[in-house]
């Protein structure tokens, strides 16, 4: 059955935020927070935060394309972070917070380019989209305490003040794509 699933990998700021959004999305089977796009093998969180590894904080999303398309998964990605800022999402600043799509095959690359172009030409954002679309490289899962972070720490200040409003905004905008309660 797992061979029927697809994998998408995105960096859109803090992986805690991105993970929390995708946990709400119908058709998503699993999410793993991690690191991708850098030169250091098996980096630690501290190494990535040093801004010297080249890695982005990413989520790897396994989804069922019979329930949700890659284009819809991409739309959620683009609309739940600011794809117009370089190396920044809110107060999170640095190359590890860059906006990036890591494509797993040529079809994903084409779809990502199409979705990015469509959003750009539709004038959805006041500034140009700076999200890069790059070939998938080695993915390194983040430390266990980063996995399922929001669900495990909802009262942590960052979760309360940054992630909770983002999840609520997502739930309002994508009500038709949510996991049934």
Residues recognised as catalytic = 14
Task: Tell me how far apart the alpha carbons of residues 94 and 89 are, in angstroms, rounded to a whole number.
Answer: 9
Burial 58-68 (b: 16+ CB within 10 A, else e): bbbbbbeeeeb
DSSP string, 119-159: HHHTT-SSS----EEEE---EEEPPGGGTTHHHH-TTSHHI
């Amino acid at each position: 059955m797992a061979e029927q699933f697809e994998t998408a990998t995105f960096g859109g700021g803090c992986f805690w935020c991105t993970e929390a959004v995708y946990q709400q999305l119908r058709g998503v089977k699993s999410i793993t927070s991690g690191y991708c796009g850098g030169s250091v093998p098996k980096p630690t969180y501290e190494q990535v935060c040093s801004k010297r590894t080249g890695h982005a904080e990413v989520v790897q999303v396994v989804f069922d394309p019979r329930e949700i398309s890659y284009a819809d998964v991409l739309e959620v990605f683009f609309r739940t972070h600011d794809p117009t800022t370089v190396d920044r999402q809110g107060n999170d600043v640095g190359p590890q917070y860059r906006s990036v799509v890591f494509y797993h095959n040529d079809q994903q690359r084409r779809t990502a380019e199409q979705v990015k172009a469509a959003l750009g030409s539709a004038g959805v954002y006041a500034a140009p989209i700076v999200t890069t679309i790059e070939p998938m490289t080695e993915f390194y899962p983040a430390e266990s305490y980063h996995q399922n972070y929001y669900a495990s720490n909802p009262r942590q200040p960052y979760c309360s003040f940054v992630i909770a409003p983002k999840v609520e905004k997502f739930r309002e905008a994508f009500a038709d794509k949510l996991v049934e309660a």
